[in-house]
Structure 1
Amino acid sequence: MHFVNRNCMLTCIGIGFISLGTICAIFWMDFFTSMLAKELALGPKTKSYELWRNPPLQLNFDIYLFNWTNPCNLTADDYEKPILEEIGPYRFREKSLKTRVKWHENNSTISYRRKSTYYFVEEESVGRLDDKIVTINAVAVSAAHTARNWGYVMQKQVSMGLTLYNQHTFVTKMARELLFDGYEEDLIDMANEMSKLGAFKLNIPYDKFGWMYRRNESEDLAGHFNIHTGQGDISELGKSKTWNYQPETPYYDSPCNEVRGSGGEFYAPGQTKERPLTFFNGELCRYLDLYYTSEEVINGLNVYRYAATERSVDNGTKYSEYACFSPHESLPSGVMNVSACRYGAPVFISFPHFYAADPYYLQFIDGLEPNQSKHEFHITMEPDTGVPVEVAARLQVNVMVQPSPNIALFQEAPTLFFPALWFEQKVRIPSEMIDELTIAASTPFIGFICIGVFITLGFILLVFVMCQKIRESGLKSTLHKDELGQKNGIPNEILKKNIIEAEQSPLMNGKHMIGKFGFKHQLPTAPLAIPDADFEYNEQNSITINH
């Protein structure tokens, strides 16, 4: 009874382990996904919200300026292929903050603006802000570019203005003036005054020119964003819904004008190698696709690397789906035309040193050396959680110079894309956060191991019970044989010993003597049957059968 109760209990436990393991195997990933969604989704009281609103990471904003070492007026008699020297980095520490945050519970979105403050870090910079830099005269080039579609008389007025203000195709300014401080320019004042008089319509919101002018502490430069919080549908986490209150931009043809992809900080969990990583950039007024390139390991954490390739900056030359970004021009692949969202200035964005661009752009400039490790734009991400581990954002600002037949300063100018500067924002999350991600990413695997242990233990218990039953059955058979031997007066020990020896010896036509049994009669070939026989045990451990 004791064995029976124990076997029943072990059987129940084994079946319970197998059942529990099977149920957990079916629902484990759904449970994990649900818990992960609660941790990642953006909410007023979630941990991720404060990290997003006021990032604790140290952000470096490195700027490299191109110094024009052989400046000329780009005329037929004076032209010389520009030779550029890269100066920098000029390192700025960036403090980013989300402002004007507003929750929209009806559609699970959040609206906000970005405010960034920059501090120059001289001890970590190669250059100084007082460095003199010779570069392309972007204001003069923009004036000629803006007037290219005006009438002849208006173009000549612009040409006279350039001559009157003694403009050249290049300027010499301090690094601080070219960046955040800006510098005053008579052409800007003249354009604003003429616009007020109604001579032409221009929308120039600046009183100075500088590539980063008014960027410091500005809430308006990047625009107004509305993104999904992931509440109710974690696959929508971080996706841009509107930019400047619209789901589309006015700067490109459809579907390239769509506001799509991440706002830049949040990505949905479950990223794949096949699907590109897309984000929307307000300063480019467009989205950018990054493509999977490799799988890497950072501090023991497996990550996917998504990089901007030649496809990312194509304009339809090689990949037709990007033709809507440049519908009215035919340029080699490698530059993004953002002039429409830069107040008409002929500004084109590429990767540093025209990395991943058509060789066409390098033939007009000396001093550029594209290098993947230095100039690639990439994001490394833990794919299961969708959390970026390292970001290296690298872009170059170029000014397109074109010949203008009715404007003397650019009458004989070649068509070229003149690099002004490039910048880099590179950041990696702290090792403590990587450790947390490692645990989160390995949780599903650990869960399945535990499930496997439960199921295995269940099967072990069932096998153990079966073995116990087989053993008990064998024991009962042995006891039965002992009882038969005792009935015939044979000691148990001798009976067991002789039975074993008998079982190990074959019968040979009834003539073979079995073990220590001494039969006086020849054994019959038929089954042994000895009725009325008496067994006699002697001291030589033999048994004599007497009739």
Structure 2
Amino acid sequence: MKIAQKTFKKFLFYIFPQLKLVHNFSKKVTGLKNTKKKYRIIKMRLSLKIIVGSACSFLFIILIGFILFPHVIKSQVKKMVNLKPGQDIREMFLKVPFPLSFKVYIFSVVNPDEVQKGAMPILEEKGPFCYQEWKTKINVEDIDGDDTISYDPVDTFIEMSEPGCAAFDTEVNIAHPMILGMVNTISRQKPGALTLANKAIKSIWLNPMSLFITVKARDVLFDGVTINCGVQDFAGKAICTQLKGEPSLKHISEDDLEFSLLGPKNATPGKRIKAFRGSQDFHLVGRIVTYDTKFKMEVWNDTKCDVIFGTDGTIFPPMLKKEEGLASFSPDLCRALVAKFKTQTKYDGIPVSYYDASLGDQSKNPEDACYCTTPQTCLKKGLMDLYKCAGIPIYVSQPHFYDSDESYLKGVRGLKPEVEKHAIRILFEPLTGSPVSARKRLQFNMPLEPNPKVEIFHNFTPTILPIFWVEEGVDLNNTFTKPLKTLFLMKKIVTIMKYTVLLVSLAGLGAGIYLHVRPDESMTVTTVNKVKPEENGTKITKTIDDDMMDGLEKNGYREEKY
């Protein structure tokens, strides 16, 4: 039967050659349909693979890069930042392994004789006088019940001679701190005793003609200036009896004492501090619970200002929010200073936050008003009276009256406040709670006022007289910043990788979906133009397939290229 069909087909193709052309074209079209089916199947399988692979990559990077990795980093930081025994950070907390930079600048009065007669003081800044400050904590005790640690802080100062530092034998002209402090204190506490104080000054200081003395920087800062208390008159003995009971004065003999501005702090244990260790709640690490065994101060006019909060400044909790600020308690000021976030910056390649602090404005800001000694004697912006804290009228400000009311700057000459030199600032890495660079700057001033009951105070023009200012600073070197840089390098690499994988995954998903839903590509048959020989002067042109060429050539057709 098949043989007969083939024989009949050949016979027809011989009689009618055009039928062979139609037959061949039909076979080609059938083959194209089968190819399209196979192409569609292959296309669907490839697009599904791309979609599934991209979706898996997307979910993986979200889980690992955006959820798991940050959680692991924070978890490790929480474990590391606590003060329990055995932790590396505890050892650094108890003994800071490097010295802080401690610099002192003294304001020397250029025109002491004129000031004594009522002229405005002209000041010349002398310094810096440079020291290393070593911070340690002794008599350490752990209390597991409330997760706290108690200790006595000790600051030790060592002279440093290095380029840019002034010689410690430099002479300065300053208002005698003991005489000025004593007269101002008696004026507030017992004004009726000023006449007695005037006689005692003449006796102890050998009838001085001026409030100002010339003294070496080394002596007035740490070594000491002698007070001769071997006097026999009633007024002198009465004042000396009180002076001998002052713990801040050094006894060098039975009759003689020494005073210095910073000597009492040197290598002397401070009042006991109790702070949280942070092993139960990392947000509390370093926060002071009690100072001198008390949960709050008993100094100011309001319990709000007596609240003890913040750390001692050597440690802060990790992962602090910007709006929380950096609170550190300062025993010298009987209060906490809160540094507020300003901007983002970098330190040694590490992204950090810039914070600065101020002393507020107790004359205008309700939250600062409780630091006033009395409502009538509130100081203006930038100054704070430490009378209730230190026991003598000392006014603290930022150096050169930076960020203070202009009236204080106009009361003297020779000051030039600058933000870079005189502001309180901290560069803080928030993830680990690390201060990488800091400058704590405070200026100590005393009121200079006329007093008719004390001879050498008769002619003064009222002003706030700067005495000296200090800068306590730290800049972590590569030894201590290297772990931070390694951490942030790892975070940077992971960030680049996770966003790269995320973008590639999203691009893959888009490409896979497009391949899956787009229409099938059309498959075309390429044709060429064939021309029949001229008949009776007329050219006959036909468009046919290459597969038909054999049959056409047999019937007198030829290819014409044009």
Q: Could you tell me which of 366, 372, 376 is aligned with 1:326?
A: 372
CA distance in 2, matches of 1:153, 1:452: 77
Deviates more, 1:435-444 or 1:275-284: 435-444
Alpha-carbon distance change, 188 to 305 in structure 1, aligned in 2, over 3 angstroms: farther
The answer to whether structure 1 residue 117 and structure 2 residue 167 are counterparts is: no
In structure 1, the gaps of 5 or more residues are: 479-495, 502-512, 519-534, 543-547
Which of 154, 163, 166 pairs up with 1:127? 166
Residue in 1 aligned with 2:306? 257
**Cα gap change, 1:201 to 1:256, in 2 (>3 Å):** farther
CA contact 1:225–1:242 (8 Å) conserved in 2: yes
The aligned counterpart of 1:179 is 221
> 124, 128, 135: which is aligned to 1:85?
124
- Preserved CA contact (<8 Å) 2:170 2:216: yes
Question: Are the equivalent residues in 2 in contact too, given 1:385–1:441 (CA < 8 A)?
Answer: no
Q: Report the counterpart of residue 457 of structure 2 in structure 1.
A: 410
Structure 2 counterparts to residues 39-54 of structure 1, below 5 A: 39-54=80-95
TM-score (norm 2): 0.75
Q: Is the 8 A contact 1:179 1:211 kept in 2?
A: yes
**Is the 2:311–2:328 Cα contact (8 Å) retained in structure 1?**
yes
CA distance, structure 2, for counterparts of residue 85 and residue 321 of structure 1:
35
Q: Which amino acid aligns with 2:70?
A: M
Residue number among 369, 375, 384 corresponding to 2:416 in the alignment: 369
Equivalence for 1:157: 196
Q: Paired residues, what number?
A: 489
* Amino acid corresponding to residue 447 of structure 2 in structure 1: M
Does the 8 Å contact 1:384/1:441 carry over to 2?
no
Question: Does 2:134 correspond to 1:95?
Answer: yes
Partner SS for 1:179:
helix
**Pair 1:139-2:187 in alignment:** no
Q: 1:85 to 1:158 in 2, by over 3 A?
A: same
Q: Is the 8 A contact 2:299 2:389 kept in 1?
A: yes
For residues 538 and 460 of structure 1, do their structure 2 counterparts lie closer, same or farther at Cα, with a shift above 3 Å needed?
A: same
Superposed counterparts of 1:194-213, under 5 Å: 194=238, 204-207=247-250, 208-213=258-263
Q: Does 1:340 align with 2:353?
A: no
Given that residues 333 and 389 in structure 2 are in contact (C-alpha distance below 8 angstroms), is that contact kept between their aligned partners in structure 1?
A: yes
Partner of 1:531: none
1:163-184 per-residue CA deviation (whole Å, 9 max, x = no partner) reads: 3332441222222210111122
* Equivalent position amino acid for 2:384 in 1: M
Q: State the one-letter code of the partner of 1:155.
A: L
CA RMSD for the aligned pairs?
A: 4.0
Q: Secondary structure at the match of 1:219?
A: coil
Is contact 1:20-1:454 (8 Å) kept? no
More displaced, 451-460 or 295-304?
A: 451-460
Aligned to 2:359: 313
* AA matched with 2:213: V
Pair 468,74 (structure 1): closer, same or farther in 2 beyond 3 Å: closer
Q: Closer, same or farther in 2 for the Cα pair 1:330/1:58, shift >3 Å? A: closer
Distance 1:123 1:389 in 2: 23
Do the aligned residues in 1 keep the contact of 2:443 with 2:466 (CA within 8 Å)?
A: yes
TM-aligned CA deviation for residue 391 of structure 1: 0.9
Amino acid at match of 2:227: E
Give the letter aligned to residue 22 of structure 1. I
Between 1:453-462 and 1:409-418, the stretch displaced more is 453-462
- Cα contact 1:192–1:204 (8 A) shared by 2: no
Higher helix share: 2
Match of residue 286, structure 1, among 335, 354, 357: 335
Alignment-mate amino acid for residue 63 of structure 1: V
**Distance of aligned partners of 1:106 and 1:306 in 2 relative to their CA distance in 1, 3 Å threshold:** same
Structure 2: runs of 5+ lacking an equivalent = 1-41, 251-257, 529-540, 556-562
Contact 2:203 2:236 (C-alpha < 8 Å) held by counterparts: no
Q: Which of 75, 79, 91 does residue 34 from structure 1 map onto?
A: 75
Counterpart-to-counterpart distance in 1, 2:503 and 2:419: 50
C-alpha displacement at 1:262, in angstroms? 2.5
Q: Is the 8 A contact 1:122 1:128 kept in 2?
A: yes
Q: Does 1:247 align with 2:295?
A: yes
Hey, what's the Cα distance between the residues in 1 that align with 2:131 and 2:243? 38
Q: Which one of 544, 553, 556 corresponds to residue 516 of structure 1?
A: 544
For the structure 1 residues 50 and 361, does the alpha-carbon distance in structure 2 shift closer, same or farther, using more than 3 Å as the test?
same
> How far did 1:100 drift?
2.0
1:101-128 superposed Cα distances (whole Å, 9 cap, x missing partner): 2223222322222222222223446433
Q: Residue 463 of structure 1: CA displacement?
A: 7.3
SS where residue 49 of structure 1 aligns?
A: helix
Q: 1:117 to 1:14 in 2, by over 3 A?
A: same
Contact 1:91 1:125 in 2 (8 A): no
Q: CA 1:5/1:403 → structure 2, altered by over 3 Å: closer, same or farther?
A: same
Aligned match of 1:482? none
CA shift at 1:79, angstroms? 2.3
CA contact (8 A) 2:115 2:121 kept: no
Identity value in percent: 23
Larger deviation, residues 185-194 vs 62-71: 185-194
Mapped pair 1:277 → 2:326: yes
The match for 2:63 is 23
Kept in 2, the 8 Å contact 1:111–1:224? The answer is yes
Contact 2:398 2:423 in 1 (8 A): yes
